[in-house]
Amino acid sequence: MDCRHIDSILDEHGVGALSAAERSEVDGHLARCPRCADAWLSHETLVRDEPEPPEDGLFERIAAQTHGGPRDLPSRHRRRVAPLGIAAAIALLGVLVFRFGPEEPARPASRDAGTATSAQLPADDPAPTGSLAQPDREARFVAGRDYERLTQPAPTISDSGFIEVCEFFMFGCPHCFDFEPSLEAWDEAQPDYVSLVRVPVIFNATARLHAQAYYTAEVLGQADVLRRPFYEEIHVRGNPLATVASIRELFGRHGIDARSFDEAFGSFGVQARLQRAEEMNRRYRVSVTPSMGVNGKYLTNTAMVGSNEAMLEVVDALVESELREPCRESDGSRCPLE
Amino acid sequence: MGEDIEKPIDHRFEVVVRPHFDALYRAAMRLTRSRENAEDLVQEILLRACCELDRLETLESPRAWLMRVQYRIFVDQVRRRTRSPIAVGGEAADADAAASEDPGPEELTETAQRHRQLARVWTTLDRRQRALLALHAEGYTLAELAAITGLTRNAVGVALHRARARLAKLIRNDSTGGLRLVQAEG
């Protein structure tokens, strides 16, 4: 019994079909695996929360009102329909005339009307016959265009069992500063098996100083606390933090005394982390910030995909791809999920 | 089609849409967690179904179409509401109202506690997570969810796994709920 098996049971609604022996195996796995225990908790909580049935006659009541159009709806039921508006309802009917004839004719003049309502309608219905078949969108991101696949795997920090996503950033980079809220929100939404690792990029002497400061904060257990103030000091307050003294002063404002700062700043732990960051920069072949790496295998950045949001979409797709990757521990590749 | 035009529209509408109404309503209840909002949601679906009745009659699976409409209305509705400070309050108030309908904790069964806890955390999830969790809990397969949402099956799987993790975290962090891991029954 492994995590994939648990996911499969939940995904395919297989809980009720488990034998006693399988059930026992599931319970054993849940006791050991917090991720699967969480998944099971959510699934069971939702499934057991049975919705109440509709009131008797609700369909008939709504159907009778609906046939008259929005104008005939009683006040409470008009509330949500009103934004659609009568003009929009007429436009919908207009779209019908042009779009949904039995032969699916060319869709001429009403393009504007169709555009105006397309956000409201399932007008781009991907399955005109009502079938559940879907167009294949697997190839929406292309290697070499939207991301690079590394020829040699880069080192990873997270334990086996995690899919590691790296952000390569510089505190002095305004795009990294702008990206930070989106990245934090993205990270918050990730499951436990996705591990976000921040890796400072060391393009110049100031970037090295900032990287050293970042790892000092990490060694002191304050990386998450100080990251935002560090960015804001540079990009909002205009303080470049280009000297050790100015960085020490910033740390001091956040409750870290000068002695603790100095000890950590010059420590072996920070130096080792700097070397590891340089190695990861080199192996991922980072050339712009922000960039994002996935599991030591892929790199993407805004120069490739055009925006921070698009970069996160590519990362999502790569994480998804890693999730499906079969484990091949024998050839040294990472096993995404044990 | 010619002979259909001769039939009264209400009869045609009932034949095409009525068989799917209970399923739509159940899903709407799971999506919105409020009877009033669920009624408004299915009403809007029926309005659109009425506009597209000719087309619906040609479909092999009107339910697939209706579910797609429901999903898009729900996602779009929540998006509109979250852009408005007043509406955000409204949605939170919906959840609060749902939670406050229940009696005090000492009187609650485990089922009622769970219902109440879900009501408290539900609107904290983003709109797509709510939709995937609700529809999957209602019994739709990943392939069906892919057809409803327009995502690939694999993307649905990944998004669903994330949504489950997020919901579990919210449940565990919900200090007033008191529920912990729900042991599945054998």
Q: Has residue B131 got a pLDDT over 90? A: yes
Mutation site for A-interface testing, chosen from B5, B35, B47, B75 by largest number of A Cβ within 10 Å: B47
Rounded distance, CA A215 to CA A228, Å?
14
Q: Has residue A201 got a pLDDT over 70? A: yes
**In contact, A200 and A214? CB cutoff 8 Å:** yes
Mean pLDDT of A223-243: 94
Task: Tell me the two tokens of residue B39.
Answer: 């009624």
Mean pLDDT of A128-134: 29
Q: Has residue A229 got a pLDDT over 50? A: yes
With cut-offs at 50, 70 and 90, classify the pLDDT of residue A99. Answer: very low
Which of chain A's residues have a Cβ under 8 Å away from the Cβ of B127? none
Which of chain B's residues have a Cβ under 8 Å away from the Cβ of A83? 80
Rounded distance, CA A210 to CA A194, Å?
26
Mutation site for B-interface testing, chosen from A15, A24, A41 by largest number of B Cβ within 10 Å: A41
Q: Is A187 an 8 Å CB contact of chain B?
A: no
**Cβ under 8 Å to B: A residues 61-90:** 62-67, 69-70, 73, 76-77, 79-81, 83-84, 89
Q: Has residue B82 got a pLDDT over 70? A: no
CA distance B107 to chain A (A): 18
What are the residue ranges of helices labelled H in A49-138?
58-67, 75-81, 86-99, 111-117
**In contact, A329 and A335? CB cutoff 8 Å:** yes
Which of chain A's residues have a Cβ under 8 Å away from the Cβ of B132? none
Q: Has residue A190 got a pLDDT over 50? A: yes
- Count of CA atoms in the C-beta half-sphere (13 A) of B21: 23
With cut-offs at 50, 70 and 90, classify the pLDDT of residue A213. Answer: very high
Q: Is A80 close to B40, i.e. CB distance below 8 A?
A: yes
- The pLDDT value given to residue B31: 94
Rounded distance, CA A180 to CA A195, Å?
16
Q: Is A45 an 8 Å CB contact of chain B?
A: yes
Which of chain B's residues have a Cβ under 8 Å away from the Cβ of A70? 47
A297-328 pLDDT tens trace: 999 998 888 889 899 999 999 998 887 765 44
**Cβ under 8 Å to B: A residues 319-338:** 319-320, 323-324
| Residue with more model confidence, A60 or A335 | A60
CA distance A333 to chain B (A): 21
CA distance B141 to chain A (A): 6
- The pLDDT value given to residue A230: 96
Q: Is A105 an 8 Å CB contact of chain B?
A: no
Q: Has residue A75 got a pLDDT over 70? A: no
- The pLDDT value given to residue A4: 85
- The pLDDT value given to residue A323: 79
Q: Is A103 an 8 Å CB contact of chain B?
A: no
With cut-offs at 50, 70 and 90, classify the pLDDT of residue A196. Answer: very high
- The pLDDT value given to residue B123: 86
Q: Is A66 close to B47, i.e. CB distance below 8 A?
A: yes
pTM tops 0.80, yes or no: no
With cut-offs at 50, 70 and 90, classify the pLDDT of residue B107. Answer: low
Mean pLDDT of B35-46: 89
